[in-house]
Amino acid sequence: MAKISIIWKDKMENVDKLRLNAPVYYAVDFEIKRELEFPVYGYITLKGSEANYRVKISEIKGYEPLPGILKRTSKNLKSLLKVEEVQDIAAINLSEFKKIDGGNLRRVTKFSYGILEVEEALEITKFRKYTEEEKKISDYIVENYGIELPFSVVTKIEESRKALGLKKKELEKVIDKVVEVYNKRAVDPYEAVGIVAAQSIGEPGTQMTLRTFHYAGVAEMNVTLGLPRLIEIVDARREPSTPTMEIHLREDIKNDEDRVKDIAKMIESTNVIDIADVITSVADMSIIIVPEVKKMGGRGVKVEDIIEALGKLKSYKLKVEQSENRIKITLPEASYKKLYLLGESIKSLTLRGIKGISRAIVRKSRDGSEWVIYTQGSNLADVLEIDEVDGSRTRTNNIIEIAEVLGIEAARNAIIEEALNTLQQQGLNVDVRHIMLVADTMTYNGTVEAIGRHGIAGEKESVLARAAFEITSKHLLTAGILGEEDHLRGVAENIIVGQPVTLGTGAVTLIYKPPKKR
């Protein structure tokens, strides 16, 4: 039996108000016309396409103006929800929600709000609290060192204590060393972290080669590495120059080579030209398809599949004749132009497989523990639909696709991982925190933005900072026409006007107070 849940998009400021004021009545612009068993749970998504908050609702009634209520919008308010609590949850991809459509389940991808049937099996990953032992470690650090270490650091200390069987004094020594390293890594107030990150990534970047390499020893498959790949990442290219996927399969079939090869055949996109010769015969104004038996066997395609695919070209009104080893196609009113266009359409006709994946190769994983499918081309959404695929380990190098399918947090992690791997493959060691800063800057507003003038640099508030980056005259002219103001808060604009930069010692203003006269 599925539970009913409400899901809607909202602004961060509204979520903040809900969290601070709950329990509170909350007015929304959608109407709920069905019987519900309370409490009902709502899921709020922000700018991205994933649910980030879970809301406990204890009452729903028609809208009426009440004192102290919060509003989702100021127009067309229809319902009042009594929100008891707002819970932070790990981002849930909307593909986890299933919508009833005439008795059939379908995935929810884009919406503004609505009532959804949420399967009982949907598990929400909550941010867990400290265990008793972890709490003791955290309290000890606060009491003795006066700082609060991040959650992940405290949990790692506790994991080490368990794994190594550390005694009290040994644990205290470990904590002392961790705190010492943590304090060394702290950033001073007003330190120019962006400039340090730019230098730390840019300097090794100049030493990178411009070549492309074979991908992890997989034959016949190239992937862009080195400087071109790093440029692709920071430019947030819609499509990488060599999109690839590494598809891992479920535990029960990952060591069965035959099953893995069958799945690879199912994934690999097969067009008519891949398994047959397409001959345009001008003599009798026809097109002849000559299937190659060996290639068809390798791709798992039959002649019937070709004939069925030709049925998709309805606009041409084709006449299809099949003899022993060939298929003849004629048009009712043939012309050279129509015949040529038909020939091109037939060549690119997809017979089976996933769109965008032109090649799928089965190889052992890098550690030799399982069979993995490496692909040329990427289509994450459709690959994750396949039951045999292990979605938690399957990856693509297309960062924009990751953002669209799995959400912005996954895209942020992909930027960090891809940039770090690209640098390490060249033997360059860059502190991960510099790359994390770049990834955070590219994704902080819910979409993946390029660093350049079409992204972050082009959207700076300061006119002079934008002008200092690229196309100086255009920015200054536009600012003059629109009457823009520059408050000189950043680095570039202060350097241009010859003022001290508001960083480090320049961020502090000293006022001289003369001694009082006696």
Q: Is the pLDDT score of 357 beyond 50?
A: yes
DSSP 280-305: EETTTTEEEEEE-HHHHHHHT--HHH
Q: What are the tokens at 455?
A: 């992204």
How buried is 263 (Cβ within 10 angstroms: 0-12 exposed, 13-18 middle, 19+ buried)? buried
- The dihedral built from the CA positions of residue 340, 342, 346 and 348, taken in this order, carries a sign that is positive
Please give the Cα distance from 176 to 163 (Å, whole number): 19
CB–CB of 92/50 below 8 Å?
yes
pLDDT-based confidence at 174, cuts 50/70/90? very high
pLDDT tens, residue by residue, 117-142? 554 445 555 557 788 899 999 999 99
Q: What is the mean pLDDT of the chain?
A: 81
Q: 249-258, pLDDT tens digit by residue?
A: 988 888 888 8
Identify the helix (H) or strand (E) that includes residue 1: none
DSSP conformational letter for 23: S
Write the CATH number of the domain with boundaries 460-505: 1.10.150.390
Residue with tokens 């080893």: 325
pLDDT at 1: 38
* pLDDT at residue 272, rounded to an integer: 76
- Kindly tell me the burial class for residue 475, based on how many C-beta atoms sit within 10 Å of its own C-beta (0-12, 13-18, 19 or more): buried
Calculate mean pLDDT across residues 239-250: 89
Residue 141: count of CB within 10 angstroms of its CB: 21
Structure tokens at 441: 């800057």
pTM tops 0.75, yes or no:
no
β-sheet with 286-291: strand ranges across = 276-281, 286-291, 327-330, 319-322
Which residue type does 200 have? S
Q: Are strands 40-45 and 79-93 parallel, antiparallel or unpaired?
A: unpaired
In this model, does residue 175 exceed pLDDT 90?
A: yes
Residue 22 is predicted with a pLDDT of 84
Give the mean pLDDT of 379-387: 86
Concatenated DSSP letters for 212-231? -EESTT-TT-EE--HHHHHH
Contacts of 369 (CB under 8 A, 6+ apart): none
Looking at residue 221, what is its pLDDT? 66
Rounded-to-integer distance, Cα 131 and Cα 57, Å: 29
Q: Does position 19 have pLDDT exceeding 80, yes or no?
A: yes
- Cα distance between residue 40 and residue 518, in whole Å: 74
Owner of token pair 């350049």: 452
Whether 77 contacts 27, CB under 8 Å = yes
Least confident of 177-181, 307-311, 419-423, 490-494: 307-311
Q: Which of 54-58, 172-176, 349-353 has the lowest mean pLDDT?
A: 349-353
Dist CA 38 CA 32 (whole Å) = 13
Whether residue 370 is predicted with pLDDT greater than 50 in this model: the reply is yes
pLDDT score of 197: 92
386: pLDDT strictly greater than 80: yes
How many whole angstroms separate alpha carbon 366 and alpha carbon 115? 45
Buried residues in 200-211 as b, exposed as e (16+ CB within 10 A) = bbeebbeebeee
Cα–Cα distance between 116 and 338 in angstroms, integer? 48
Nearest to 507 by CA among 231, 295, 190: 190
How confident is the model over 295-352, as pLDDT tens digits?
777 666 777 777 777 776 766 677 777 777 777 777 777 677 777 777 777 777 777 7
Q: How far apart are CA 131 and CA 184, in angstroms?
A: 28
User: What is the average per-residue pLDDT within 344-362?
Assistant: 79
Residue 126 bridge partners (DSSP)? 89
More confident residue, 361 or 216: 361
Find how far residue 65's CA is from the centre of its chain.
40
Residues 224-243 have a mean pLDDT of: 87
pLDDT tens per residue, range 476-516: 898 899 888 888 888 888 899 998 888 888 888 788 888 88
Q: Are 364 and 289 within 8 A, CB to CB?
A: no
Share of the chain above pLDDT 70, in %: 86
Q: Can you give the pLDDT at residue 434?
A: 93
What is the pLDDT, as a whole number, of residue 270?
78
Mean pLDDT of 383-412: 89
pLDDT of res. 2: 45
pLDDT, position 204: 86
Query: What percent of the chain is modeled with pLDDT above 90?
Result: 12
Contact 397, 223 (CB under 8 A): yes
Provide the pLDDT for residue 96.
Answer: 64
CA distance 378 to 397: 8
Mean pLDDT across the stretch 143-162? 89
Q: What's the gap between Cα 424 and its chain centre?
A: 22
In degrees, to the nearest 5, what angle opens at C-alpha 509 toward C-alphas 508 and 510? 115
3-state SS assignment for residue 345: helix
DSSP 482-514: HT------SHHHHHHHTPPPSSGGGG------P
376: confidence class by pLDDT, cuts 50, 70, 90: confident
Mind listing the pLDDT tens digit for each residue in 445-468?
888 988 877 777 777 778 888 888
Q: How far apart are CA 408 and CA 110, in angstroms?
A: 15
What is the C-alpha separation between 311 and 313, in angstroms, rounded?
A: 5
For residue 374, count CB atoms less than 10 angstroms from its CB and return exposed for 0-12, middle for 13-18, buried for 19 or more.
buried
* Predicted pLDDT of residue 113: 55
CATH of domain 270-352: 3.90.76.10
By C-alpha distance, which of 199, 154, 150 is closest to 175?
154
- Check if CATH label 2.30.130.30 holds for domain 3-118: yes
For the chain, the structural domain boundaries read: 3-118, 132-185, 270-352, 460-505
Look at the block and give the residue holding tokens 């010492």. Answer: 180
Average pLDDT, integer, range 263-292: 77
Please list, in sequence order, all residues whose beta carbon lies within 8 angstroms of the beta carbon of residue 87, skipping any fewer than 6 positions away: 53, 54, 55, 56, 126
DSSP structure string for 176-190: HHHHHHHHHHPPPTT
